[in-house]
Amino acid sequence: MKQEPPQDIRERSFEFAARVVNLCKKLDASPGVPRTLSNQLLRSGTSIGANIEEAHGSQSKKDFRAKMYISCKEARETHYWLRLLIKCDIISEPQLTDILDESNQLVAIVTTIVKKSGEA
């Protein structure tokens, strides 16, 4: 029997991706480093939900777990880029508090799904 992610994780990851896109639009207005970091953030931040959607259409439990694992890795990478934006004073921490918190929550949720999907 195929395991499916909870419906809310699909919607949360989609909404998170939209927030990342909007943040990257702002970063792209600045030349140089912010634009380069924006490209990295855009790829990883939108990949989380894309892989969750692929997992939803998976053909096996193994395929489901693999897609969710990729999503988990992308969520961790996104969290990294957000932290880097703060550390390098590109965006202030208060401006990123909510999206940083959501990225932490996505990491936790997807990690739990991956762990549970590996149980017999």
What mean pLDDT comes out for the span 96-107? 96
For residue 89, pLDDT beyond 90: yes
CA 90 to chain centre: 20
Residue 60 CA to residue 50 CA, distance in Å, equals: 18
Tens-place pLDDT, residues 43-88: 999 999 999 999 999 999 999 999 999 999 999 999 999 999 999 9
For residue 41, pLDDT beyond 60: yes
- Listed by start position, the domains of the chain span 7-117
The pTM of the full predicted model, rounded to 2 decimals, is 0.89
Q: How does the average pLDDT of the chain come out, rounded?
A: 92
Scanning the structure block, which residue is given the tokens 């693999």? Answer: 66
For residue 5, pLDDT beyond 90: no
Reported in sequence order, the residue ranges of 60-104 that DSSP labels E, i.e. its strands, are: none
Residue 90 CA to residue 72 CA, distance in Å, equals: 25
Tens-place pLDDT, residues 21-33: 999 999 998 888 9
Q: Name the CATH topology of 7-117.
A: de novo design (two linked rop proteins) (1.20.1440)
Q: What angle do CA 77, 66, 51 make, to 5 degrees?
A: 55
Q: What angle do CA 82, 18, 30 make, to 5 degrees?
A: 55
pLDDT for 4 equals: 52
Q: Are 58 and 67 in contact (CB under 8 A)?
A: yes
Whole-number Cα distances in Å, 87 to 69, 83, 93: 27, 6, 8
Per DSSP, the chain holds a count of helices (H) and strands (E) of 4, 0
